[in-house]
Every structure is written in structure tokens, then in C-alpha cells.
Amino acid sequence: MKIISRIIPVVMLLAILSSCGFDNFDAPTSTLVGKVTYNGSPLNVRGTGEAIRLQLFQDGFDKRDAIELFVGQDGAFSAKLFDGQYKMVTRDGNGPWVNSRDTTIVNVKGTTEVSLDVTPYFLISGENISVSGSTMNASFTVNQIVSTAGIDRAMLILSKTQFADDVNNIFRQDFSDVSAGSVSLSADISGNNDVANAKALYGRVGVYAKGADQAIYSPVVKLK
């Protein structure tokens, strides 16, 4: 019994030291920064709710779970990683672009910058957004990028913060009868107390392609 009583503390000490060893692995120190782009220009997307994600994989390890990268509303993403080679892909059915699942090889060392070029169904340009009295007005051009894509709906959006999208807003109106080309839309915002009482007001327009889970957007514009 004396021998057993002497062994137990030793075993416990070894277990504690072993667990401490596992907890003391160095944290990743390299930084991957980048943007989702089309022909080199960043895409404007929904940035809230971790709605759009990219995936990173690294070969040579038993655990092959994807590392998730969350895309901001200006198309930017970042992550702390260990040095090494990674494979970057888009998620199936996620984003306002063609999900070709092409692999981009990224060699991470120190601060590493990368652009992930994709093909959006549509782009928005020349946007002019304003609020006058009880009306929100927007004119913009919907540029067709994928010839076979159709427009499901366009959206006028107002937010009291600079984060504005189809979920994070204080006003949103959808328009289903929209075609590619020049678009002019107006929405009645009378009776919306959130808009009337907002100390700051931001506007944005968005376009959903048919079958896409996310919209393409214009940049956010401060209106008040």
C-alpha cells in the first residue's frame, strides 16, 4: 500500500506536466490578408453574420477540417496562421459568384497578401443613392457578367450603422421586376421611425441573382 501511495502522486505529476505541455504550443504568428476580387477589383458583399466564408486546407496533417475565413462587406478577409502551404477555395453554393471550386495555392510566411479572383453573376456601378423627405431614391447600373444569370430581385437598404445589408438594416424594400442595365428605383420611407430618428444614416443597393444565396452590393454610402 505504501508503494501504491507513492506511485499515485508521481503519476498525477506526470499527467499535469503532460497536459501543460499540450497547452503550451506556440500560437500562429503569421497573418494572411486578402480580398475577394473580380479582375483585380474588390467585390462588395454582405459582411455581417459570417454569411460568406472561404475555406483553407493544409495537406500533410491527420486533421483535414477546413479553416474558415469570414469575408467582410468590402470583400476583405484575414486570419492568423502557421507558416506553410494552404489551399484556398470558395464554399459550394455560398456567395454571389460562380462556385467553380478552383483551388488557389497560398504560401503563408509572415504577412502574406492574396487576392481570390471569382466571377460574380452581376456587378453594380454608377450608384447614386439619396433620401429626400419621405422617399429613398437610387439609380445605378446592373452589369451582367455571367450571360446565363437572371436577376431575382434588387434591394434598397438603409442602416443606422455602416454595416448595411439584407439582414442588418432599418429599412429594406425588394423589387422583383429589374433587368440588367440602367436602373432607377424609389421607396416610400414615411412612417419608419427608425429612419426618421436615426442620428446617422447609410444607404446601399443590392442585387440577388436567381439561385444565389447572397447578393452583390454597391459600396455603403453615408447619407446623414
Whether residue 97 sits in one domain with residue 41: yes
Task: Quote the domain boundaries for residue 182.
Answer: 122-222
d(CA 175, CA 217): 14
Look at the chain and report how many structural domains it folds into.
Answer: 2
Whether residue 207 sits in one domain with residue 139: yes
d(CA 179, CA 212): 16
At residue 56, the pLDDT reads: 93
Cα–chain center distance at 178: 25
Residue 1 lies in a domain: no
Q: What are phi and psi of 2, to 5 degrees?
A: -65, -40
At residue 63, the pLDDT reads: 60
Task: Give the total residue count for the chain.
Answer: 224
At residue 206, the pLDDT reads: 98
At residue 24, the pLDDT reads: 52
pTM of the entire predicted model: 0.85
Residue 48 lies in a domain: yes
Whether residue 105 sits in one domain with residue 48: yes
Whether residue 103 sits in one domain with residue 129: no
Single residue among 117, 139, 164 that ends a domain in this structure:
117
Residue 54 lies in a domain: yes
Residue 5 lies in a domain: no
Whether residue 150 sits in one domain with residue 100: no
CA distances for 66 relative to 32, 53, 59, 61, 94, angstroms: 15, 11, 11, 12, 15
Whether residue 151 sits in one domain with residue 212: yes
Place of cell 506526470: 14
Whether residue 127 sits in one domain with residue 151: yes
HSE on the CB side for 214, CA within 13 Å?
29
Place of cell 455581417: 48
Residue 146 lies in a domain: yes
List of the chain residues with pLDDT < 50: 1-19, 21-22
Report the CATH number that the domain containing residue 164 is assigned in CATH. 2.60.40.2060
Q: What is the pLDDT of residues 39-84, one digit of tens each?
A: 999 999 999 999 999 999 987 765 678 899 999 999 999 999 999 9
